[in-house]
Amino acid sequence: MATLDVRPISGALGAEIHGVALGGDLDAATVAAVRQALLDHLVIFFHDQELPPERFLAMAKLFGEPIEYPFVRGIDGFPHIIKVAKLEHETVNFGGIWHSDTTYLEVPPMGTMLVARDVPPKGGDTLFANQYLAYETLSDGMKRLLGGLKGVSSSAKAATTRTREDRKRTDPASRPHEDFTAEHPVVRTHPETGRKALYVNVGHTVRFAGMTEAESAPILDYLFAHQTKPEFTCRFSWRVGSLAFWDNRCAQHNPINDYHGHRRVMHRITLAGDPPR
């Protein structure tokens, strides 16, 4: 296996990888090493990458199967690449809440790749949170309680729908008003590492299966606050050409909306996953 220059950026998760040109010809050993770094660190970062759309898509295919996002159409000629943007006149940023991507789908994505095309002069960082640690630091009693529960995720949760309205207006998908709902284990076992991770999120989870929203709220509110404690997180600062690749099965993210009056434009690809178990 290739040896990478991997530099962790926090005690909880996240590592920068240096000396790899993702837009070039990656051999099998390098692809395997990058994937192992992702499994080890949950989110990995690269700087100074030359990744026009055709190279970005080709690179992503080395790590999984790109899938389309249900609410925003892809950029011209590339249906699997969506624009994640907040423009100078806008006040709400796309996905600006803690979440794991599209858990309202029956088969949520394995991972997400995001490459920076335009960044503000300051601000616009992204936070990530380790959901292995979120689960492992729960009490034994809470683990027993959660072990048999399923969470119901909805694409219509108000706090999240608001964050995608600007892009739905400018780049609507063919069915931008369709709602999606799915049930997944509150604690999922990662199919590659075998570790257990907390798998609810404030962006999409509305209740526990078999319970009302009111009955679910006290425990969910506790979990939402617990799973994003500072000691479970890292923070990444973008520059043009930076790329982040995160594992949706065990990490959450939250783009910070602190750059009003400035433009931030990213391109995103999500990779097909497997039914959470």
From first to last of its 277 residues, the chain has per-residue pLDDT tens of 568 999 999 999 999 999 999 999 999 999 999 999 999 999 999 999 999 999 999 999 999 999 999 889 999 999 999 999 999 999 999 999 999 999 999 999 999 999 999 999 999 999 999 999 999 999 999 999 999 999 999 999 866 676 666 666 676 765 556 789 999 999 999 999 999 999 999 999 999 999 999 999 999 999 999 999 999 999 999 999 999 999 999 999 999 999 999 999 999 999 999 999 9
Nearest residue to 240 (alpha-carbon basis) of 260, 261, 269, 267: 267
List the beta bridge partners of residue 43: 246
Kind of pairing between the strands at 43-46 and 15-18: parallel
- Rounded CA-CA distance 207/9 in Å is 34
CATH of 5-271, one of 3.10.20.600, 3.30.1360.10, 3.60.130.10, 3.40.190.10: 3.60.130.10
Are 163 and 94 in contact by the 8 Å Cβ rule? The answer is yes
Both tokens of residue 162?
């608001």
- SS3 at position 135: helix
In this prediction, residue 178 carries a pLDDT of: 77
Specify the DSSP element, H or E, that contains 69. Answer: none
- SS3 at position 118: strand
In this prediction, residue 229 carries a pLDDT of: 98
In this prediction, residue 259 carries a pLDDT of: 97
Residues forming the active site: 99, 101, 253, 268
In this prediction, residue 168 carries a pLDDT of: 60
216: number of Cβ within 10 Å: 20
Predicted TM-score of the model (pTM): 0.94
Are 197 and 188 in contact by the 8 Å Cβ rule? The answer is yes
Are 149 and 219 in contact by the 8 Å Cβ rule? The answer is no
In this prediction, residue 17 carries a pLDDT of: 98
- Rounded CA-CA distance 129/208 in Å is 22
Are 198 and 151 in contact by the 8 Å Cβ rule? The answer is no
Are 120 and 265 in contact by the 8 Å Cβ rule? The answer is no
The full length of the chain comes to 277
In this prediction, residue 167 carries a pLDDT of: 62
- Rounded CA-CA distance 248/245 in Å is 9
Chain Cα centroid distance, residue 106: 16
Residue 243 to residues 12, 86, 249, Cα–Cα distance (Å): 19, 18, 19
